[in-house]
Amino acid sequence: MQLLVMYTWLGLGSLFMFLAVFFVGKYLVQSQRPALFISAKWWKKWERTVKSAEDEQWEQLLSRAGRPFGWGKAEWLFLQLLCGSAVCILVLLWAILCRVESFPLLSMCLASGGGYFLPYLALKMWAGNREDMLSTDIARFINRYVTLLENQVPVYNAMVKAARPTRKLKEYIPTLSEWNKDPDEALESFKRKLGVDDGVILVSSMRTIEQLSAGQVSVTMQRMEWAVDQRRMFRHRKKIKSLGIGYSVIVYPAFYMGLLVAMFPWYKLLTEILAKYLT
């Protein structure tokens, strides 16, 4: 019972600490002064240390997630350290206040590790949901964009009108001033803001169709729509496969253990009967 209470308070405390650090970090990063409890000098040293080793996986993850709150790798790693340290402190306080007989070293390590990876997992889930949403938006955008181009609508107006019914894509459409200044740079900025592979395919196709005839435009955009759908289906199959593996890992061992427990009395009775009549 005490263990259940410990994990309950530990989970609630971790959630509270995560939310508190999350919103405080958001305020500190968006403010002009980098931190209230960390000087600008130390924060710059931390950023240089983190950025000294380039990590493509982190950059891809942040791009897919759309860089929430404008945070980079340094901010997210710092948040991970704070969450892991907060959980560790909570376990220590629980051990001191409850006066447990043995120090919960294993529980502290596991809980601190879970708290450390909690922001990373949250960022990864956010990136996956954003990528799925943008993939759906891009497929919806393509259909309307091709129809508008076939009706001789100007390119920028077609972009704006095609993106209007989307959920997320419309937030990244270049402004009219950016488009008039340099269309290529506007499309490049549009691709960077999207930050997903489907966005790269979309921008590349939009640049290509400017040099194609009306019939070729429709074929090219249909091929791009097919490619986007295939990528979305691949991610969906991958997610289903991971869920199936998780189900197998969690459910099957418990099922077999329950089966063995249920069959053990019958097995014991059978061995007693055989021993009685065979000896």
**pLDDT tens track for 133-168:** 888 888 888 878 878 877 888 888 988 998 888 888
Residue type, 146: V
pLDDT at 1: 52
Q: What is the pLDDT of residue 34?
A: 42
pLDDT of 204 above 60: yes
Assess contact for 151 and 180: CB atoms under 8 A. no
CB atoms within 10 A of CB 145: 24
Mean pLDDT confidence for 218-222: 68
pLDDT reported for residue 36? 42
Percent of the chain predicted with pLDDT > 90: 1
What residue type is assigned to position 273 of the chain?
A: I
> Of the spans 17-21, 89-93, 151-155, 251-255, which averages the highest pLDDT?
151-155
- Of 22 and 163, the structure prediction assigns the larger pLDDT to 163
Closest CA to 79 of 39, 33, 118, 124: 118
d(CA 267, CA 276): 14
| Residue 33 scores a pLDDT above 60 | no
Q: How confident is the model at residue 6 (pLDDT cuts 50, 70, 90)?
A: low
**Cα–Cα distances in Å, from 198 out to 97, 134, 185, 224, 232?**
53, 8, 18, 9, 9
Residue 27 predicted with pLDDT over 70: no
Please tell me the distance from the alpha carbon of residue 118 to that of residue 83, in angstroms, as a whole number.
8
pLDDT at 108: 76
pLDDT 10s digits, 256-275: 677 666 666 766 666 777 77
Whether the CB-CB separation of 9 and 70 falls below 8 Å is answered with: no
Closest of 66, 65, 82 to residue 74, by C-alpha = 82
Burial of 275 by CB count in 10 Å (0-12 exposed, 13-18 middle, 19+ buried)?
exposed
Contact present, 87 and 10 (Cβ < 8 Å)? yes
The whole-angstrom distance between residue 279's C-alpha and the CA centroid of its chain comes to: 65
Give the pLDDT of residue 35: 44
Question: Which string of b and e fits 229-266 if b means at least 16 CB within 10 Å?
Answer: eebbeeeeeeeeeeeeeeeeeeeeeeeeeeeeeeeeee
